Chain A
């Protein structure tokens, strides 16, 4: 009888021993039941048939299970054949064979070395960067990318921001599953090609894009069938498969630059207690490829954005659910929000306020800022009025360096009381607000023109991706 074996987890025995047990059991039962049949004739035969039928009903595949496969699955213990070192080696091997192009970090990118989870060095380029923007940021939290550009202007970083970038489609993929590996790889490679042809190294803004791209990179490098299916599609678009040497998140760049940026700090953050939420997709997807630092929580938590907050002088406070997701859920935040707001409020905001007495909640991803910021207002209906200000680390840094809260950090899109936090650190919020309201009025009436923190693109750049666009654009930027 097969039913007994399927409901028991086999211990780690020798293969032959198990199979011999199975054979002996089968023989035994056949003998027992056959003898029973010969003794009890009609009744037993019926019962036996019924039992067999019931087993077949309950376990539709019981007659075709490959026990060898189950055994292999059970004894296949912890093994890490696809560690980061292995993947990097494979990547360079493929480059030597000519199967893929690798976009290297060059000396003109001024790379800085940081440590990853296992101590393996990761090169973080610090200048000549191509911005890979985030949908949710540009759509709903525009102060987030604006702060990144502003900080880069202040630190005199050479960067390029283009219309020729698509979303990573990670949000859609993780929410609905309406995609497939080849499409995901195609989107990745298309964006990387656009960065490669300009010579600027891609910097990823969104946490999900970052984690997702790490996984897609591993998949492209390890699986030939994906490359074979991808190549004809890319050739159709006049492109080829290009993979950057490192997948770099902007919070890693910001952490590496934060000591230098803190020298331009304008406000004193010494009496601020900041709770930090590291986004799940930044450090839980391909965990080996995220940066850690002995100076930040003794290397037990990811370096970004905790290290950034620390380097700016604010006090890092800890709370019991630091490792928990924010509750974004990708699909839940749009169509099942009762989960997102319950989770964000009870498992993140309330511990941060009650246990840690935090003044501000800093995080480094689109979804986390959205969830933590927008989930607090509905709690008022049940008497939970915590109103903990939520800021992205880029906004936090820009505000500390003296950026206009309304024009640059765009805090008017936030639902929580960011103005209260700014008053605590001594920012003249009311003056800025008055100027901004006047500016909006002027814009409405047509008396003022929109200002730009980097030069405008040509109209044709919003239609075609022309090969000479960087040559036209860079002299404009220098003016």
Chain B
């Protein structure tokens, strides 16, 4: 190569626009992509987060490639109401743009409604909504502040699903919590117990549980969640919830052991038991 120095043309020169990217530099719109929103103290955590997501066993199955066609964003319900698009996320993931992914996880990833329209339409067979779930799972595991804020109003559902085996309870529908659901919500909450008694199924007659799961089932559910490590990641998000669930688990496990023992010995008197273990 020549040792002569190559001076680039000045911006006024019409040949400037034919020059390569390094010489022209970024357009003003593109400056945003070059500036890093990553604060120095978050940098290490952001890299660790991204490495963890990439090393998940599902990552290579879910992300196969991207040709930037935008079919995913065109079908996305959240894209119509939020500043969100699955294509943005995939492009960042393809380029290992750690800072952009960090910014995405801290805000936009919670906009997705998990409809899987993007996954069904993607020409690369990417599982895009699955990638969103991966980011969310790791956000919970790493105990990110944004995850805590988003999941704070969701605490009750988490408690119900882990300790009772159902995800919602009939008595959740109260007029002050769901006023926009209409006047029938008021009717329901006022007459909840007699409405439930009028349901001709014996499993659905209580107001504090959707269908009446058995005590053994509830304890098995809690065992699965604890053994699989879900409670450990919940500890980072909501310590009080974790403590509550562990206390309930110990209590219910003990009750189950006692009842099982008595039954096996034949000493159990059914009349002494209340109608439901929820009243124990």
Contact = CB atoms under 8 A, between A and B. Distances in A.
Interface of A: 1, 3-4, 6-9, 28, 31-32, 35-36, 39, 54, 57-61, 65, 70, 73-80, 82, 133, 135-140, 142, 145-146, 149, 161, 163-167, 169, 171-183, 186-187, 190, 211, 219, 223, 225, 229, 232-233, 236-237, 280-281, 283-285, 287, 323-325, 327-332, 334-335, 337, 339, 341-343, 347, 374, 377-378, 406-408, 410, 412-415, 436, 439-440, 443-444, 450-454, 456-466
Q: Is the interface of B mostly helix, strand, loop or mixed?
A: helix
5 contacts: A139-B166, A186-B227, A211-B116, A236-B227, A325-B115
Contacts of B119: 284-285
B202 A457 contact: yes
Contacts of B157: 171-172, 175, 334
B214 A178 contact: no
A361 to B, nearest CB: 16
B77 interface: yes
Contacts of A180: 137, 141, 228-230, 233
Contact of A280 (B96, B115, B268): B115
Given A74-B65, A187-B224, A450-B205, A163 B117 contact: no
Contacts of A77: 64-65, 124
Given A177-B133, A284-B116, A341-B180, 18 more contacts: A35-B5, A60-B98, A145-B201, A165-B217, A166-B213, A174-B114, A175-B157, A178-B158, A183-B230, A190-B220, A236-B223, A325-B115, A329-B114, A450-B199, A451-B200, A452-B201, A465-B216, A465-B217
Nearest to B120: A284
B215 A464 contact: yes
Contacts of B202: 450, 452, 456-457
B175 interface: no
Contacts of A328: 113
Interface of B: 1, 3, 5-6, 20-22, 33-36, 38, 43, 46-47, 50, 57-58, 61, 63-65, 68, 75, 77-78, 80-82, 94-99, 110, 113-117, 119-120, 123-125, 133, 135-137, 139-141, 147, 150-151, 153-154, 157-158, 161, 165-170, 172-173, 178, 180-185, 187-188, 191, 194-205, 210-218, 220-221, 223-225, 227-230, 233-234, 237, 256, 259-260, 263, 268, 270, 273, 275-277
Q: Give the interface centre of B151, B173, B220 by most chain A CB atoms within 10 Å.
A: B220
B239 to A, nearest CB: 14
Contacts of B183: 377
A33 to B, nearest CB: 11
A146 B202 CA distance: 11
A4 B75 contact: no
A225 B57 CA distance: 9
A284 B43 contact: no
Given A138-B211, A452-B201, A169 B161 contact: yes
Contact of A178 (B82, B140, B204): B140
B125 A79 contact: yes
A44 to B, nearest CB: 10
B20 to A, nearest CB: 7
User: A-B pairs with the 4 shortest C-beta distances?
Assistant: A177-B136, A377-B182, A325-B115, A139-B210
Nearest to A376: B182
A161 B213 CA distance: 11
B230 A178 contact: yes
A164 B216 contact: yes
